Structure 1
Amino acid sequence: MSFLPVLLLPLLFLCLVSPSTSNDLDSLFKLKTALENSNPTLFSSWKQENPTCNFAGILCNSNGLVSEINLSQQNLSGSLPFDAICSLRELEKLSLGSNFLYGSLTQDLSNCTNLQELDLGMNAFTGKVPDLGSLNQLRLLSLNGSRFSGIFPWKSLENMTKLTFLSLGDIPFDNSPITMDLAKLDKLYWLYLTNSSITGKIPESIGNLTLLENLELSDNLLVGEIPQSISNLKNLRQLELYDNFLTGKIPVGFGNLTSLRNFDASMNSVEGDLSELKSLTGLVSLQLFENQLIGEVPEEFGEFKNLANLSLYTNKLTGPLPQKLGSWSGMEFIDVSENYLSGPIPPDMCKNERMIDFLLMQNKFTGGIPESYVNCKSLVRLRVNNNSLSGTVPVGIWSLPNVTIIDLSMNQFKDSLSSDIGKAYSLSLLLLANNRFSGELPATLSEATSLVSIQLNVNQFEGQIPETIGNLKKLDNLHLGQNMLSGTIPDSLGSCVGISVINLSHNNLSGQIPSSLGSLPNLNSLNLSGNQLSSDIPTTLSSLKLSLLDLTDNQLIGRVPESLSIAAFNESFAGNPGLCSQTMKTLRSCSSNSGSSSRPHIFLSSFIAGILVLLILLGLFLLWKLRRNNLDHPLKSNSWIMKQYHVLSFTEKEILDSVKAENLIGKGGSGNVYKAELRDGKALAVKHIWTSPDSDNQKHYRSSASILKTSKSRSSEYDAEVATLSSLRHVNVVKLYCSITSEDSNLLVYEYFPNGSLWDQLHMNKKIKMGWEVRYEIALGAARGLEYLHHGSQSPVIHRDVKSSNILLDGDWKPRIADFGLAKIVQAGGEMTHVIAGTHGYIAPEYAYTYKVTEKSDVYSFGVVLMELVTGKRPVEPEFGENNDIVSWVCSKMKCKEGELELVDSSISEALTEDVINVLSIAIRCTARVPVLRPSMRMVVQMLEEAQPCQLTSISITKEGENNQKMEQKYQY
């Protein structure tokens, strides 16, 4: 008997190293091999000598076998060996969500038949989802946020009757309806199918899922009415149906959902009134914006003690708001804009000082702003424009500490602008246009140094513009037109280096136009018409790149500077009898002596000016000669480093030799562009980038061979950005072949585009007539390029400067998105910037007051490009009217059928008008004032594909009078 324990030892050893345990170890090591490089620290405990159950992220059952793998949010990258994973026969939970895993889900996954939880969400998997019907023990299935394609195998869910949690949202599946009876999943409490390309109606069987607490079907292609059976879901706390094509009324019985806390059915076509919601006293958030709702806001809403967010804008609601609305726990957000609401503003919505956004625009509210709102220190946005409000504004409103936008325009407010405005240190937008404000502009206005836009036009302000206005370094838009301002234009205005729009028209301003305005690098629109300005037009204005210049109806004299004597400004100088021009037919010729005696010293001034001009010209010639010499002798090739991003057929020397004056084909804000002709006949574009000089004494001299001066402190940032952009691979995104850098300079080598930019073809080359078929293909190709940047690349990219001049056209007129000088890799919540990024006319309105750049900013800019393609107009044209751009002009014309027809470029065939208007409607959606209302670029592409011209079989581009240059390009579909 004493030998029995000794005899049992081998058996015990065999148990400890059973085949099952050994198999588990082998499988885990295969998983480690696949993922270890992305996180070596995590796998440091996965060693042969350690028990399997002590591996990080591994749990075992009572038999010592692996039952759970939990490696979520570990920055893992790689392709999963599902054959090895599913050989873990006791595996019940597999959690690998929120990583960077890629590859496909192989059919081996169907062998994990004991799985109860499968979380692979928020990764980069591709391909089709296989039939998972064998996983009938699953309680949790999460695949959301990956890049699967094809149609989801709905039928495979019929066997998963134990499911309680199902998440398949944010996946670009092919369009398909839910092809199974949802009633079989009656244990579900969580169903997330947002943005998964679901079509058809919401199944009536949804009402059988009575345990549901969360139901999200937003951002799909659902049609029809909200099913009445949804009122059976008594446990529902969140219901998200926004951005579909739902119609009909809120179903009878909806008020039974008394557990509901969040309800969002925005961006649909829901009709009827809100009466079914009046018993939902537990609501925290109610969002029904952009529908067809009518009637009054129920008085019962004023008793909702938890209501914090109410968004009902763009409906047809009437009557007053409940006066007790938001007076309990305190509102945080209210937007009821663009309705027909009337009556006074409820007095206590900021009673508990939690209000952030207060938006009541475009209604019929009357009375004033309640005095209680001066205590609303939390307020960020105050917008009540386009109402019938009146009286004086409570003084404390002007100095709210967190407010970024005060928009009181288009009302009947009176009294003066308080000097307390200087305490509004966060204020970005001050919009008071079209009211009855009076008095002088307070000097303290310049203390609100965050101001980006000041629009005080059409009021009764008087006195002088404060000289201290130059302190507003972030100012982008100054509109003081149609007031009674007097005195001179402050010279300090030239210190507002960020300004792009100045409108001081129709006042009583006198004196000279400050020459300092010519030094404003971003000034795009200058309107000083209808004043009493005298003296010459400063020659410094010649350096500006203006899309609008209006100096009409003043008392200006002398010669119009030569660079301003162009056809685009033919009407810019009328009403100034003292002006002359040698080339402009709308003005008298400068050879005339009339008016020469009005200033006795004019001849002396002209003589001195002539001498100065000669000296300047001589200096410029010498500088040009010196720069030319430097350009013709670029830095030696051995001082450059080439980084290639594609297979190259050229040498570094070929590129460097091309950077010379005779090859210059373009200039931009970031540098010069040269054409490089290679030995094999191929052409490339070489961008030589300008950056800030290293010291002040270098500002006035930069040789052409050192245009791009990148300081060491910026080199790593530059390398990171170029490395990211160089990884982009898409037929509609410009190809970056390589970068060539030296210690102090950078060259970027791109494809060459013989047809230039879309801007050139639409607005500069009037001999080229692009038919609608051509324009449509350009629109669709450019949209696909942006879709790739936003949704297709590994790290989504925001372009930030989408415009027609950054859409280049190859020899076949196919478009490429180009010029990533402002592009930023998307970070969580969007990219913050303290500079208005982009180009006037294309900039999304939210830039000015949030400084937050998102993908929806690019969508807005692309909408402007679509409008250019349809109308043939520039983003800013004099015919659009004062302070208007193409977006406001198009929207005003679209209100009537006749106006629609006027919008279409006359060179487009009338037979295609309906197709063109369809695209214009997409453009209007893209340029929605509120970013959340704009579609994603993925949706834009889909809408454009659906708007394909019926007769799109070929495209032709013709040159007037030159039939021999007619080109036809057949497109295959």
Structure 2
Amino acid sequence: MPLPKNHHLHLYLLFFLFLLSNAAAADELQILLKLKSSLQDSNSQLFATWDSTANSFCKFTGITCNDVGSVREIELSNQKLSGSLPLDSICQLPSLEKLAFGSNFLHGTITEDLRNCTKLKYLDLGKNLFAGSFPDISSLSQLEHLHLNGSWFSGIFPWTSLTNMTGLIRLSLGDNPFDPSPFPKEVENLKKLEWLYLANCSIQGTIPSEIGNLVELINLELSDNNMTGEIPVEIGQLTKLWQLELYINRFTGMLPFGLRNLTILENFDASENFLEGDLNELRFLTNLVSLQLYDNNFSGEVPEEFGELNKLVNLSLYGNKLTGPLPQKLGSWSEMGFIDVSENFLTGTIPPDMCNKGTMKQLLMLQNKLTGEIPANYAKCTTLTRFRVNNNSLSGVVPAGLWGLPNVAIIDITSNQIEGPITSDIGNAKKLAQLFVSYNRLSGELPDELSKSTSLVSVMLNNNQFSGKIPAKIGDLKQLGTLHLESNLLSSSIPKSLGSCSFLSDLNTANNSLSGEIPSSLGSLPTLNSLDLSHNQLSGKIPESLASLRLSMLDLSHNRLTGAVPESLSIAAYNGSLSGNPGLCSMDITYFPRCSPKKEMSDDVRTLIICFSVGTAILFVSLICFSFLKRKEKDQDRSLKEESWDVKSFHVITFSEDEILDSITQENLIGKGGSGNVYKVSLANGKEVAVKHIWNTDPSGRKMFKSTTPMLGRRGSGSSKSKEFDAEVQTLSSIRHVNVVKLFCSITSEDSSLLVYEYLPNGSLWDRLHTCEKMKLDWDARYEIAVGAAKGLEYLHHGCERLVIHRDVKSSNILLDEFLKPRIADFGLAKMVQTNAIKDSSHVVAGTHGYIAPEYGYTYKVNEKSDVYSFGVVLMELVTGKKPIDPSFGDNKDIVNWICGNLKSRESVLGVVDSYVPEAYREEAIKVLRIAILCTARLPELRPSMRSVVQMLEEAHEPMKLLDIVISKDGSSKKMEVLKGTEK
């Protein structure tokens, strides 16, 4: 029976719809594949499923489809992506409701094409590296979530776009350098808004009273703007608030009445404003977890009710005018982690139970009027990292266990009335870096265990009543930079071991009863800048070794020193520094008696006799040694040529084995390492090479298993691991890149090995930045070095058949050729990661202090992101001209922390740029600094890949407005947020 006509029509319609559906699916597939081609994936796994031959793009990672198989969501946040977005095609996806690319490294501009994504309900482009202004998106009237925070958008934000977005639930635009504007009226009408993040985006003027209309708000952040006026009472209508952040503005007046209504508020921060009055309005906020009101003008007492806050973790009230005692129950019921009430006028005693839950990390109460003893409970607070109660009126004895807390980094009880000894417990304080106990009444002998606290950098024990000797092994404190022992009752001698404290820059033992001679070992301290040994009973001659020091301050006055003043110390700069030593004489200093000619003659004769005797003995021994060494040298020379050598070439070479062997002579030596030497060899063809000679045996024939890892430029440095030689050969022999040092060949025998490299005549980047050559390295050269070195590392991480982790990236391992083109060198610690290795990480501790990534603090597992961190430090060196570790940074700070502390304003950011960089290049230097900060993110997964770093550096040459670098807060300290990619 024939089908009805209308049934045929129905079939035709279904077939037509089927064809349309297939065509639409094909279009969507092409759009997704275009998106894939526009992005770079540093982990190389994300787009593994994005294949044109796949059965359905709905199974692509990050893609969600609707019921009819059309793309509804693209969720690719936190995927370490770089590149730009092809919005012209993305917005052709007909069913797209969610577009999320937050927390990546995307760049470029956002085009007007975004307006075509009219069905979007969720848009997240936050925490990226975009440039330019953000376009008008009025057509996106269905938006419920708009996240653009921390993406480096600039210009005027199109606030009017928000007018039609009445369904917005979350609006996050903060941490962008927009042009200044008042609080946007368009926001006042977004009645469904739950999350409003407008921090650090140039909002000016007052908070309008209409803010009270946004009754659904859970989070309100207006921090780090330029807002003024009083906090409106209408804030009290926002009873659903969980977080209120108003810090770093210019708010005035008192906390508004009605703030007590915010009973579910957990986080309140109004720090760094001009607020005044008391804190009584906060008594009712029983759910507070973090309260930060520091640097204001608050007065009155801390409400007693604060002692009942059983959720309180962070309390920061420093820099106000608070009076009266602290609630004694403060922190008793909560997992208290941080308290800072410093710089007030508080009285009474320290609350005893703030570490009841064993979670307190920092107790800071300095510069108040506190009395009483330090509570005994804190001796058991093993989580404490900072304990500072200086400049109070505390008394009694420090609880013994407090000295030995295992995690404490600073103990500061300076300027109190505390008595008793420093106990032997201090030997357990393995992380203690700063010990400040000056101006107290402490007594007893300094414990020998002090020398076991090997992390100590600054020790200030002056103006107490310590007696007895200075611990003999104090030289074990290898990190010690400052030691002040003045104005005590110390006796005995100055330990010779102090000469082992190679970082010591400030030594003061004045006003004690020290005796004996001044140790000549003090003259070997390379960084000693201030030396005060005055007002003691030191005797003997002034060591000639002190003449080698470059001191800005020297005081040896009022001792019992005798003999002639060394000529180098007989200068006007040290006038008065030697007075009070009647036994001294000088031919140059007028207030000393002239050294007696007769005595001088007698001394000279005695010296001549001694020297003649010693000289005769030395000559005799020397003749024997010379004969032995000549014979040995001949044997070695003969052995070099007579040994059986295995030559492996990795490039076409134009020299012979004999030409290299003949050049291993003393006159060609340019560097020495722990187990071998480095030679500069001029070849017959006029070219030069660097030869590293590693001995595998000592003179007795015993295996040494050592190799050197020199810089192949001007200096060498040593290592003691046999694996380093193998790693260097294995790594370099397979590498072909213009920015990686070239290994021509290896020449090995049973007893020694020779590695022949290209010779780099301009030494290392360290030499150029931190020595007298610095002025010759202009910004263009620095920029080219940065890009070239980045490309070398990019090749190691992405271009080799197997990933190569260098593990010791630093400026001294970046060598420069005759045109200042960089080469990555020194692969003694490098690791080739096997393709089947577990998680491509290494357990071996490697690297150099100042360049080592922070993950070493909690794990020895490192990967290529550790190289990225180290390279970020090198970039900071290039921009600032500073060394990674520099005394000017302050105690326990490296260049990364120093730069973090200087990101407060445009002026402070510009201030870190090296003064040798001309004004015209400073904007570009800031862009490179921005990349360096991304590279040194604390969490490895937040650092860009070296491929992304190269791309960003190359784009840094493009003209762009100098952007203000922003900061946020963590506890009472500030940290980089946008630039380092951390979560708000």
TM-score (norm 1): 0.68
Preserved CA contact (<8 Å) 2:499 2:524:
yes
**Shift of residue 609 of structure 1?**
7.2
Aligned to 1:810: none
Aligned to 1:435: 440
Gaps of 5+ in 2: 627-648, 652-666, 668-689, 699-703, 729-737, 744-754, 795-808, 812-847, 858-865, 871-881, 916-966, 980-984
Whether 1:844 aligns to 2:890 is yes
Aligned to 1:921: none
* Alpha-carbon separation, structure 1, partners of 2:31 and 2:726: 41
* Alpha-carbon separation, structure 2, partners of 1:713 and 1:569: 52
In the alignment, which of 359, 383, 386 is matched to residue 364 of structure 2? 359
Q: 1:610 to 1:589 in 2, by over 3 A?
A: farther
Preserved CA contact (<8 Å) 2:211 2:234:
yes
In the alignment, which of 914, 926, 932 is matched to residue 973 of structure 2? 932
SS in structure 2 at match of 1:397: helix
- The one-character-per-residue Cα deviations of 1:348-406 (angstroms, maximum 9, x if unpaired) are 21222221111111100011012222232222211111100111222222232322222
* Alpha-carbon separation, structure 2, partners of 1:160 and 1:613: 95
**Shift of residue 436 of structure 1?**
0.6
SS in structure 2 at match of 1:295: strand
Q: 1:613 to 1:566 in 2, by over 3 A?
A: farther
Aligned to 2:377: 372
Whether 1:65 aligns to 2:109 is no
* Alpha-carbon separation, structure 1, partners of 2:855 and 2:91: 34
Preserved CA contact (<8 Å) 1:267 1:933:
no
**Shift of residue 310 of structure 1?**
0.7
**Shift of residue 456 of structure 1?**
0.9
Aligned to 2:900: 856
* Alpha-carbon separation, structure 2, partners of 1:866 and 1:801: 24
Preserved CA contact (<8 Å) 2:138 2:161:
yes
Aligned to 2:125: 120
Q: Within 5 A, what are the aligned runs for 1:170-319?
A: 170-319=175-324
* Alpha-carbon separation, structure 1, partners of 2:423 and 2:565: 41
**Shift of residue 557 of structure 1?**
2.7
Q: 1:216 to 1:864 in 2, by over 3 A?
A: closer
Preserved CA contact (<8 Å) 2:439 2:464:
yes
Aligned to 2:27: 23
Aligned to 2:351: 346
Q: 1:478 to 1:586 in 2, by over 3 A?
A: farther
Q: 1:68 to 1:339 in 2, by over 3 A?
A: same
SS in structure 2 at match of 1:374: helix
Looking at CA atoms only, which structure, 1 or 2, has the larger radius of gyration?
2
Aligned length: 761
Aligned to 1:890: none
Aligned to 2:831: none
CA RMSD in angstroms comes to: 5.4
Pick which of 77-86 and 443-452 moved more.
443-452
Aligned to 2:388: 383
Aligned to 1:474: 479
Aligned to 2:606: 604
SS in structure 2 at match of 1:508: coil
Q: 1:560 to 1:611 in 2, by over 3 A?
A: farther
Q: 1:753 to 1:828 in 2, by over 3 A?
A: closer
- The one-character-per-residue Cα deviations of 1:841-895 (angstroms, maximum 9, x if unpaired) are 51324539xx98353356799989989x99xxxxxxxxxxxxxxxxxxxxxxxxx
Aligned to 1:521: 526
Preserved CA contact (<8 Å) 2:412 2:437:
yes
- The one-character-per-residue Cα deviations of 1:17-41 (angstroms, maximum 9, x if unpaired) are 4243232222212112212565653
Pick which of 823-832 and 141-150 moved more.
823-832
Q: 1:105 to 1:610 in 2, by over 3 A?
A: farther
In the alignment, which of 335, 342, 352 is matched to residue 337 of structure 1? 342
Pick which of 341-350 and 418-427 moved more.
418-427
Q: 1:33 to 1:485 in 2, by over 3 A?
A: same
Query: Which has the bigger relative contact order, CA under 8 A and spacing at least 6?
Result: 2
* Alpha-carbon separation, structure 1, partners of 2:527 and 2:707: 18
Q: 1:283 to 1:159 in 2, by over 3 A?
A: same
Preserved CA contact (<8 Å) 1:843 1:857:
no
Whether 1:90 aligns to 2:95 is yes
Aligned to 1:629: none
Preserved CA contact (<8 Å) 2:238 2:262:
yes
**Shift of residue 587 of structure 1?**
5.4
**Shift of residue 294 of structure 1?**
0.9
Preserved CA contact (<8 Å) 2:850 2:884:
no
- The one-character-per-residue Cα deviations of 1:7-61 (angstroms, maximum 9, x if unpaired) are 9888656544424323222221211221256565322322244222222211111
- The one-character-per-residue Cα deviations of 1:532-555 (angstroms, maximum 9, x if unpaired) are 112222222233333322222222
Q: Within 5 A, what are the aligned runs for 1:555-634?
A: 555-581=560-586, 585=589, 588=592, 592-593=596-597, 604-605=606-607
Whether 1:398 aligns to 2:403 is yes
In the alignment, which of 29, 46, 66 is matched to residue 42 of structure 1? 46
SS in structure 1 at match of 2:28: helix
SS in structure 2 at match of 1:389: coil
Preserved CA contact (<8 Å) 1:170 1:196:
yes
Aligned to 1:897: none
Q: 1:752 to 1:442 in 2, by over 3 A?
A: closer
- The one-character-per-residue Cα deviations of 1:218-238 (angstroms, maximum 9, x if unpaired) are 222222222222111101111
Q: 1:115 to 1:529 in 2, by over 3 A?
A: same
* Alpha-carbon separation, structure 2, partners of 1:859 and 1:710: 38
- The one-character-per-residue Cα deviations of 1:214-261 (angstroms, maximum 9, x if unpaired) are 111222222222222211110111111112222221112111111110
Q: Within 5 A, what are the aligned runs for 1:815-826?
A: 824=851
**Shift of residue 142 of structure 1?**
0.7
Preserved CA contact (<8 Å) 2:570 2:589:
no
- The one-character-per-residue Cα deviations of 1:543-579 (angstroms, maximum 9, x if unpaired) are 3333322222222233444444455434432333333
Letter in 1 for 2:506: V
* Alpha-carbon separation, structure 2, partners of 1:290 and 1:563: 50
* Alpha-carbon separation, structure 2, partners of 1:162 and 1:39: 37
Aligned to 1:109: 114
- The one-character-per-residue Cα deviations of 1:592-613 (angstroms, maximum 9, x if unpaired) are 549869xx86763487579999
Gaps of 5+ in 1: 623-638, 642-660, 662-687, 719-736, 761-780, 803-820, 871-925, 939-973
Preserved CA contact (<8 Å) 1:395 1:420:
yes
* Alpha-carbon separation, structure 1, partners of 2:419 and 2:509: 21
Q: 1:611 to 1:265 in 2, by over 3 A?
A: farther
Aligned to 2:715: 707
SS in structure 1 at match of 2:418: strand
- The one-character-per-residue Cα deviations of 1:619-647 (angstroms, maximum 9, x if unpaired) are 9xx9xxxxxxxxxxxxxxxx999xxxxxx
Whether 1:539 aligns to 2:554 is no
Q: 1:759 to 1:571 in 2, by over 3 A?
A: farther
Letter in 1 for 2:900: K
Q: 1:545 to 1:840 in 2, by over 3 A?
A: farther
* Alpha-carbon separation, structure 2, partners of 1:693 and 1:251: 77
SS in structure 2 at match of 1:487: coil
In the alignment, which of 329, 336, 341 is matched to residue 324 of structure 1? 329
SS in structure 2 at match of 1:246: strand
Q: 1:142 to 1:829 in 2, by over 3 A?
A: farther
- The one-character-per-residue Cα deviations of 1:804-828 (angstroms, maximum 9, x if unpaired) are xxxxxxxxxxxxxxxxx98759879
Q: 1:485 to 1:753 in 2, by over 3 A?
A: closer
SS in structure 2 at match of 1:516: helix
* Alpha-carbon separation, structure 2, partners of 1:595 and 1:139: 96
In the alignment, which of 444, 457, 478 is matched to residue 449 of structure 2? 444
